[in-house]
Structure 1
Amino acid sequence: MKKTVVINVVGLTKRLIGEYTPFIKSFLEKGKASYITPVLPSVTCAVQSTYVTGKWPSEHGVVGNGWYIKDDCEIKFWKQSNNLVQQPKIWDDLKEKYPNFTCANHFWWYNMYSNVDYSITPRPNYLADGRKIPDIYTYPAKLRDDMQEALGTFPLFEFWGPKTTINSSKWIADAAVLTDKKHNPDLTLIYLPHLDYNLQRYGLDFDIISKDLLEIDEVVKQLVTHYEALDTRVILISEYGITNVNRPIHLNRVLRKEGYIAIREERGLELLDAGASDAFAVADHQIAHVYCKNSKDIDKLVKQIKQIEGVEKVLFGEELVKHKIEHERCGDIVVVADKDSWFTYYFWLDDAKAPDYARMVDIHKKPGYDPVEMLTDPKDKLVMAKVVGKLLKKKLGFRTVMDIIPIDANLIKGSHGRLNENLDDYPLLISNYNDGIGKEAIDAVEVREIIENHLLN
């Protein structure tokens, strides 16, 4: 078996490789590459699950970063159990065929309770007083102490939120190298999220993102240099391409005005009551799942949604089958934005009645994905002073709410999730093993087989 590493450089596309990524550019020129035809939805959890299973979302069941759980009548995002992926993963089958095969997974999603030998994933401590303390979950459990003793506490607040930096990707890369030096796994998966941040904040503005490209290029160089010195087959891969957007679509507000959505009021603030709603949308970047209580409403809803500016496709019935997304977790309708648009989860009509979590980083309470969590209000010149004051209160033992996130979706300039038309915006697979890739473009379900070929041929 040939030692292989798969480095997931989030958001990497042909458009981004050049002046500001000299190492990646050189790696591409010396190796072999394929465009990856995007999977729908082109979002983190769905794409990663497709890569590691070789199956479509209709088969593995990961229809987005979150979905409506019908038994609980609750919308849940960013769950972590590997059991949510309903097909065997590459490491499951290889372990069955080759009992000595070993695998390490560093921060690819659904990384808890999987069958890999070494895993690290973010898992904060959620304290009874409301505090969130950075931490990780690992297997074996001792790996958690070893890593944080060697590298310091995982920089959770630089991994997501308004304070993201290259440090989180550096920490993940350093952890992967330490795992490799100590355990030498046959297959290693590594997730480097850095480009995800400013590409969503600012879009394809190279005056801003050039710094991010240079930073991630250095981290990739560090990793590839380490692995190539060990005669490792190296794959650089990405999940999706981020493109410019300028129009947020508030789909739940439209459904509310049409009378479909039920609202619960608490302390003068509004909450989406999904279980009591006739229809609601679970927004996830440029796609949204619309769940309908009564199937008789579907045709009417389809007609209404098609009228919304920025909506490109409204999929239901056989169209869901055609796009390989039909599954019990899938919405009755899947709405796809056009290239300039993306979907918010916003359901309130008056910002004064927005739920308290709307102005916070709270990925588990929000009934949809919220990229605005990466920003603070640019109009609030005192925001950093407020943050310092709130942190001081926390250190003194007072309960406080970090309500510093704006609720202005127009601040977001980049998104993904739909099927991009331009090859320059497709995800990529680049390898230093020239016999490992045979086509200019591959389907997302072919990635697993390519990884296996790197290991076994």
Structure 2
Amino acid sequence: MKWGIFFIIAAVLIVLLIVVGSSRNQKPKEQDLSRIKPETGAKGKKVILLLADSLMSQSIDRGLREKELPTFRFLIEHGQYYKNMVSSFPTMSVTIDSTLLTGRYPSEHRLPGLTWYSAKDKKVINYGTGPIEVLRQGVNNVLTDGLIHLNQDHLNPDVPTIHEELARHGLQSGSINGLIYRGPAVHKLTIPAWLHIPSSLPDEIEVKGPDFLTLGALTNPLEGLADLPDNLTDKIGFNNRFSFETVKYLVRHRKLPDFLFVYLPDLDQELHKNGPSSLKGVKDLDGQLESLLQSFGSREQAMKEAVILISGDSGMTRILPADRNPEIDLSALFGDDRVLSPGEEESGSKDILFTVNETMAYVYSLKGTDTLKEAAKVLQADSRIDFVAWKERDGWVNVIQGGTSKALKYKADGKLQDTYRQSWTIDGDSQVLDLKVNDVNNMLEYDEYPDVLMRLKSALDSHEGDYLVVTAKPGYELKDKNSPTHKGGGGHGSIRKAESLVPLIICGTDRKPTLLRMVDLKSYLLDLLAKNPPNHG
């Protein structure tokens, strides 16, 4: 799973239901609605970006063939439909959302995964990968990192988000349930009483976000105005219905900001459990999209008033069932006497540490690069490993293929140019990353690993320390002592196209994106808003 704070709730929910039942704080109403300027006179179209966690084009296409998705069909027939937008890497929500909202890869926005190791602080950062890991890491630590440090400190303060850029241009923006939301306006997260039991968080936390911000029950500007599902049993508001009902309220009361980011988490949970072929969640999403369009008055009116984009964030690979041994236990490969466990104090006797992001992981050496290279050989010997990569001090990236002796190294700049106008120098076996190299015209194309050279290099440049990137072959997932697994279900995190290519549907504009990458979507959105300047009166 990759829901961040949702796993914190899962970790303590059973205990809390016993201790405090379904009680919750009544929060002071936020003043976000008063920030949204009234619409008067001629106005440009609003831009709404709906990010549906783990939405895949295969599911959409199957639903269309089976005539189960009438709203998706309408949107596609009246808009643009792309099936191959390239996500960020690792394919985990906080990294992807940071790339989308900053227009930069992790080498610049500095959020390398749902879990990673901070060499500066000498601790594992975990935004909530799974209940057991959360408990081992410490609920208080995970909550503090997720609710305070994620946006305020870990997301590079020198890289502006779309919310910050729009504010500088006099445009308003909003975020509904997005975990990455940094902006110029001051908000307060109100921590429910039941979260004080496992943590030492204050009653209120001041954060900076866009003009309109909801984060489930933690900050709900519609408290007392709309009946939203934000109880404990509703994941305190981190659900699709909360997100859609909030958007619909803004539409009906003419309170849409110029740009609105909406995060939709429900599909991810279903696919992790049932695998990527499940269609139920997409059918549910289709009905929710229809209700949003009707809140404008009709489908056609929605197209007149807004540019609506629906995007996935990552794909998903089916994980083999339990009897097929799908888990690659990293701790077992190296031995307990060498591996530092989550929450364990560092000592001189242990030299390896893992942070697992489902089908990819960072492998850290606590004793320098010699240990790192030895670790790479251990991993390469396992045929279930897809590849292992690390960066040299001189800028070269080394990649070795799991279960073989094939190797490749590359670096930025050189005579080869890829389809994204990035130039590279490559030495070794190009098949390791399935690269198509044309030496006649010095062109390079990607297939199984989209934009892999930049995305992999960016992950290796994303934070300080000596570490490897390791990915699993399709059907397998990486595992540490307490990391969640999804045997017989679905997983993601790695860089193959099944987990990297996502759909993008655009309605309400004829303007087309120049490049189909998540990292380029921010510039496209800014261009849309610049071409449709609003008139706030």
What TM bracket, shorter-length normalisation?
Answer: 0.7 to 0.9
State whether residues 156 and 168 of structure 1, in contact with CA within 8 Å, keep that contact through their aligned partners in structure 2: no
Question: Given the alignment, which residue of 46, 50, 73 partners 1:3?
Answer: 46
Match of 2:493 in 1: 417
Question: Given the alignment, which residue of 75, 78, 98 partners 1:49?
Answer: 98
CA 1:305–1:288: 2 relative to 1, 3 Å:
same
Question: Given the alignment, which residue of 308, 332, 354 partners 1:281?
Answer: 354
TM-score, with structure 2 as normaliser: 0.63
Query: How far did residue 155 of structure 1 move?
Result: 4.0
1:115 pairs with 2:115: no
State whether residues 79 and 506 of structure 2, in contact with CA within 8 Å, keep that contact through their aligned partners in structure 1: yes
Amino acid at match of 1:220: L
Match of 1:13 in 2: 56
Question: What secondary structure does 2:397 align onto?
Answer: helix
Q: Deviations over 1:52-87 (max 9, x none)?
A: 111111111111112112233221222243232211
Match of 2:280 in 1: 211
CA 1:38–1:254: 2 relative to 1, 3 Å:
same
CA 1:68–1:197: 2 relative to 1, 3 Å:
same
1:33 pairs with 2:81: yes
CA 1:61–1:262: 2 relative to 1, 3 Å:
closer
Give runs of aligned pairs for residues 67-86 of structure 1, distance below 5 A: 67-78=116-127, 79-80=146-147, 81-83=150-152, 84-86=154-156
State whether residues 115 and 126 of structure 2, in contact with CA within 8 Å, keep that contact through their aligned partners in structure 1: yes
CA distance in 1, matches of 2:104, 2:496: 21
CA distance in 2, matches of 1:142, 1:63: 24
Question: Given the alignment, which residue of 229, 235, 239 partners 1:168?
Answer: 239
Q: Deviations over 1:231-260 (max 9, x none)?
A: 110011111111211112221332335x42
Give runs of aligned pairs for residues 334-353 of structure 1, distance below 5 A: 334-346=469-481
CA 1:291–1:16: 2 relative to 1, 3 Å:
same
Match of 2:504 in 1: 429
Query: How far did residue 204 of structure 1 move?
Result: 2.8
Match of 2:333 in 1: 254
Question: What secondary structure does 1:189 align onto?
Answer: strand
Give the root-mean-square deviation of aligned CA atoms.
3.3
Amino acid at match of 1:418: S
Q: Equivalent pairs: percent with the same residue?
A: 17
Q: Deviations over 1:194-252 (max 9, x none)?
A: 110121111134xxx33322212111222244355361100111111112111122213
State whether residues 107 and 122 of structure 1, in contact with CA within 8 Å, keep that contact through their aligned partners in structure 2: no
Match of 1:308 in 2: 382
Query: How far did residue 172 of structure 1 move?
Result: 1.6
1:106 pairs with 2:176: yes
**Number of matched residues?**
376
Amino acid at match of 2:289: V
Query: How far did residue 121 of structure 1 move?
Result: 8.2
Q: Deviations over 1:126-168 (max 9, x none)?
A: 54544999x99887899746434322451454449xxxxx982
Amino acid at match of 1:22: P
CA 1:14–1:331: 2 relative to 1, 3 Å:
farther
1:187 pairs with 2:259: yes
CA distance in 2, matches of 1:118, 1:30: 38
CA distance in 2, matches of 1:442, 1:110: 21
State whether residues 51 and 447 of structure 1, in contact with CA within 8 Å, keep that contact through their aligned partners in structure 2: yes
CA 1:274–1:243: 2 relative to 1, 3 Å:
farther
Amino acid at match of 1:115: G
Query: How far did residue 331 of structure 1 move?
Result: 6.0
CA distance in 2, matches of 1:215, 1:142: 25
Question: What secondary structure does 2:339 align onto?
Answer: coil
CA 1:271–1:309: 2 relative to 1, 3 Å:
farther
Structure whose CA Rg is larger? 2
Q: Which runs of 5+ in 1 are unaligned?
A: 161-165, 264-269, 347-357, 359-367, 371-408
Query: How far did residue 12 of structure 1 move?
Result: 1.3
State whether residues 274 and 488 of structure 2, in contact with CA within 8 Å, keep that contact through their aligned partners in structure 1: yes
State whether residues 151 and 175 of structure 1, in contact with CA within 8 Å, keep that contact through their aligned partners in structure 2: no
CA distance in 1, matches of 2:124, 2:365: 14
Q: Deviations over 1:26-64 (max 9, x none)?
A: 212321123212322111111111111111111111111
CA distance in 1, matches of 2:104, 2:229: 35
State whether residues 261 and 273 of structure 1, in contact with CA within 8 Å, keep that contact through their aligned partners in structure 2: no
